[in-house]
Amino acid sequence: MLNKIRKYKFLFEELVKRDFKKKYKRTVLGILWSLLSPLLTLLVMRIVFTEFFGRTTNHYTTYLFAGTLVFSYFSDATNQGMSSLVDNAGIFTKVNVPKYLFLLSKNVSSLINFGLTFLVFLGFCLLDGIAFHWKFLLLVYPIVCLVFFNIGVGSILSALYVFFKDIQYLYSIFTLMIMYLSAIFYNINAYEPTVQKLFLLNPIYVYISYFRTIVINNAIPDLVTHLLSFGYAFAVLLIGARMYKKHNQKFLYYL
Amino acid sequence: MDNTKPTVVLKNVSVRYIIGDFKNIGLKEYVVRKLSHNYHVKEFWAVDGVSFSLEKGDLLGIIGSNGAGKSTLLKVIAGIMNPTKGKVEINGNVAALLELASGFDGDLTVKENTYLRGAMLGYTRRFMDEMYDSIIEFAELQEFQDRPFKQLSSGMKSRLAFSIASLVNPDILILDEVLSVGDGAFRKKSEEKMMEIIGRGVTTILVSHSLEQVRQLCNKVLWMEKGKQMGLGAPSDICKKYEEFIKSGR
């Protein structure tokens, strides 16, 4: 494994550079825009939903931002990841390179984007009157889980996308559903306790609630949240890795 | 690398390929076709029982009509595809130069594409830093370094592709019709460059449609037809049989 990393390091770096440049079209405005788009979403939600949900939820701006931060990273990374095999078919049908490099490279671009948005998020926390405390360091845990979760979902999608091109339309509907089911702008306290439990079936909700518990409640999430965060990431990663392994040769027939 | 062992050994290598309705259909159409029994996938053997063995310094030419399975065979030797049956033994590192002009990115500049391609071929960054200027000079693209790749003409693209690829230093070289590219002057230059690499004593496998070239360069010839191995042996012998086969109208 270590040998492989060394062998493909140069290629990986060049792929990351390429994906990053293509994503931002080499403009400062490109990077700015990718920061601006979650902020605009945030602004709209803040204006529209404060009337309905803002009064019953503490630090509503931060509450919203935690939601959009996690969701937009998930949505960006998996949508970019989906096309990673199809877009790079010209490369891996001509040279013998591991196919997961392309997915990882796209994920690096999305992660950089997430990192920048995260810094803005921290700034907003201060503006919202939230003091930083040591528990913020625990955010590393859901972030790492989320990175692997996104890679896992991306690998499943990229494999499916090779076989079925309409996956992208189905997936955009799916992401929209996830968005509404992740309690980004509303509070699940309005539901009965049993219904509230159902939200834990949604991985994105679990990651968002981890963020909120740390940042807004100044508390450490319970064991279940920790286990679920890890479990979801591990499960999708396992499925994705299996699909790549199983279809490694089959991809070539389709491209 | 062990010099006494053969560099490439293929034992009864077969590759099963599938063709049919599965390409570019969506999930919806897949389900509809499955339900209406209108989903047809055909399996066939793109390569069917090919065996040969090459020593260091051998130059094998592969001939045969279109769709004979030559490119698939090259992909197997290059490690891009696994054989469905049979065994491939490779002793040394392989450089496969297949369809050179594809795999570039139109939005990146010439310089960025050069580095990306170098990375694809397994060069190191330091090597690319050292060789970059001579690559551009050889491809005669000095004025285009910072232009987007899509602005180049197709001749320029293949010139660049060739210049980068020609720096390979493998034990086993696989060539798919890339002995020479470009027009007049560049064609000559690229041919010379290739001869120089082949002359280093590497094991070379070459797909070519020019029998003249095969006769001139190769010391072994493999003739394939519809995946099957029709003949293996000395160029004069096999090329003659192949010509008779073509004349007889298959």
Please determine, for residue A86, whether its predicted confidence score (pLDDT) is greater than 80: yes
The pLDDT tens digits of the residues spanning B104-161 come to 888 899 999 999 999 988 889 999 999 999 999 998 999 999 999 989 888 888 888 8
Per residue in A137-168, pLDDT (tens digit) is 999 999 999 999 999 999 999 999 999 888 99
Please give the residue that has the higher pLDDT: either B94 or B180: B94
Span A85-113, average pLDDT: 91
pLDDT for A118 beyond 80: yes
Is residue B2 over pLDDT 60?
Answer: no
Specify the amino acid at residue B180.
Answer: S
For chain B, positions 98-127, list CB contacts with chain A under 8 A.
98-99, 102-105, 107-108, 112, 115-116, 118-125
Q: Which residues of B touch A90 (CB under 8 A)?
A: 102-104
Calpha distance A53→B153 (Å, rounded): 59
Pairing type for strands B228-233 and B220-225 reads: antiparallel
> For residues A167 and A157, is the Cβ–Cβ distance under 8 A?
yes
A186-194 mean pLDDT: 89
pLDDT of residue A67: 95
Give the pLDDT of residue A24. 79
Residues of B in contact with A91 (CB under 8 A): 103, 120
Residue type, A103: L
Residue A25 clears pLDDT 80, i.e. is over it: no
In this complex, do A95 and B96 lie within 8 Å of one another by their Cβ atoms? Answer: yes
Structure token pair of residue A126? 């201060």
Specify the pLDDT at position B113.
93
Asked whether the CA dihedral B215, B216, B220, B226 is positive or negative, the reply is: negative
Residue A83: predicted pLDDT: 94
Answer with the residue of higher pLDDT: A48 or A236: A236
Half-sphere exposure of B76 (CA within 13 A, CB side): 29
pLDDT of A199:
95
b/e sequence B181-201, b meaning 16+ C-beta within 10 Å: bbeeebeebbeebbeebbeee
Read off the pLDDT band of B179 (50, 70, 90).
low
Q: Could you tell me the pLDDT band of residue B89, with boundaries at 50, 70 and 90? A: very high
- What pLDDT does residue A20 have? 87
What is the rounded average pLDDT of the residues A224-236? Answer: 97
Using the beta-carbon criterion (under 8 Å), do A7 and B122 form an inter-chain contact?
yes
pLDDT confidence of residue B60: 93
How many angstroms separate the CA of residue B171 from the nearest CA in chain A?
Answer: 16
Confidence at residue B106, expressed as pLDDT on a 0 to 100 scale: 87
Q: Is B90 exposed, middle or buried (0-12, 13-18, 19+ CB in 10 A)?
A: middle
Q: Do A14 and B99 touch (CB under 8 A)?
A: no
- For the cut 90, the answer to whether the pLDDT of residue B97 exceeds it is no
Question: What would the mean pLDDT of B86-99 be, rounded to a whole number?
Answer: 86
Region B217-224: mean pLDDT is: 91
**Above pLDDT 70, what percent of chain B?**
96
The two tokens of residue B241 are: 């049989």
How sure is the predictor about B3, in pLDDT bands with cuts at 50, 70 and 90? Answer: low
pTM of the model: 0.88
Residues of B in contact with A253 (CB under 8 A): 17-18, 22
Residue B17 has pLDDT above 80, yes or no: yes
| Region of residue B114 (left: phi > 0; alpha: psi -120 to 50; beta: else) | alpha
